[in-house]
Amino acid sequence: MGTAERRERERHETRTKILDAARELFAELGYEAVTMRKVAERVEYSPTAIYFHFKDKEALMRELCELDFGALAQQFQKIAREKDPIERLRKIGHAYVAFGIDHPNHYRLMFMTPRPPITHTQEYEAATRGNPEEDAYAFLKLTIQEGIAAGRFRPELTDADLVSQAVWAGTHGAISLSIAKSNDDWVEMRPTKKTAELIIEGLIRGLTREEQ
C-alpha cells in the first residue's frame, strides 16, 4: 500500500471513530448537550483534530443522518424484488425491527433523539428525498401505494401516508420500548422480535381486506 492510500485509510478510520463517538453522545445526552469538545474527549483527540474533519456538530449530525438512514434504506432494498406488496410490507416490518435491534445507537439517534432540522446539500436532497432506492420512507410508501392500487387494503384506506405512518408507529413502538426498557426489572419484557412479529401481523390483518 502506497503512502497516499495509507493516509486515506487512516483518514477514513479517524472519521469513522469520530462519527461513532458522536452518535453515542447524541443518543446518550441529546443534541443540545453535545459539544465538539465532548466528542474530542470521547475519542481522546484534541478539538483541533475534530475540526479538521468536521466544521461543527451540525456537520457531524448531517453525516450521521445520511449514513444511518442510507444504511436503513439499503436493508429495505434487499426485499425490493418481492412482488406482493403485502408480503413486502411484512418483510419491511421485520427488516426495520432487525435494524433497530442490531444497531440500537443508530436507532436511538435516528428516531428517538430530538434535534433541529438538518440542512442537506441540494444534490443530496435531489438524489434521496422521495427516491425509493435511497429513502426508506419512500420505499414503505410506494409499497403501501401498490397495495392500495391492487385493492389489498380496506376500501376506506386510501391515504398512503396515513397507512405508512400507522405501520411505522406500530413497529417503532416495539423497538423503542425495547431500547428504553431493556434494563427495567419491573416488567418481564418478552423478546423484541416476538413482540414485533405480533404487532406486524396485527397491523396487516387490521389494515387489509382479507387475512394475508
Q: How far is CA 84 from CA 87, 133, 182, in A?
A: 5, 18, 35
Report the percent of the chain where pLDDT is more than 70.
Answer: 98
Half-sphere exposure (Cβ direction) of 99: Cα atoms closer than 13 Å: 25
- Separation between Cα atoms, residue 40 and residue 80, nearest integer Å: 40
Distance CA 73, CA 131 (A): 10
Q: CA 62 from chain center: how many Å?
A: 14
Average pLDDT of the segment spanning 105-128? 93
pLDDT digits (tens, 9 = 90+) for 17-49: 999 999 999 999 999 999 999 999 999 999 898
Same-domain check for residues 47 and 81: no
pLDDT reported for residue 1: 63
Cα–Cα distance measured from residue 208 to residue 86, given in angstroms and rounded to the nearest whole number: 9
Q: Tell me: pLDDT of 208 over 70.
A: yes
Question: Is the domain of 78 the same as that of 2?
Answer: no
Residue 84 sits in a domain of what CATH number?
1.10.357.10
CATH number at residue 28: 1.10.10.60
Please determine, for residue 212, whether its predicted confidence score (pLDDT) is greater than 60: no
Residue 200 lies in a domain: yes
**Do 6 and 77 have their domain in common?**
no
112: in domain: yes
Residues 180 and 90 in one domain: yes
Could you identify the residue written with the cell 483541533? Answer: 48
Give per-residue pLDDT as tens, 119-166. Answer: 999 999 999 999 999 999 999 999 999 999 999 999 999 999 999 999
Asked if 41 and 94 sit in the same domain, the reply is no
Please give the pLDDT value at position 6: 82
Same domain, 130 and 168: yes
With 80 as the cut, is the pLDDT of residue 72 above it? Answer: yes
pLDDT of the residue at 211: 53
- Could you tell me if residue 100 is inside a domain? yes
29 grid coordinates: 445526552
Q: At what angle do helices 104-111 and 160-181 cross, to 10 degrees?
A: 130
Residue 210 has pLDDT above 80, yes or no: no
Calculate the CA dihedral of residues 11, 56, 131, 166 and round it to 10 degrees.
Answer: 120
> 176 and 75: one domain?
yes
pLDDT tier, 69 (very low <50, low <70, confident <90, very high otherwise): very high
Residue 168 lies in a domain: yes
- pLDDT value for 184: 83
Same domain (yes/no): 136, 184: yes
Residue 22 structural domain:
1-55
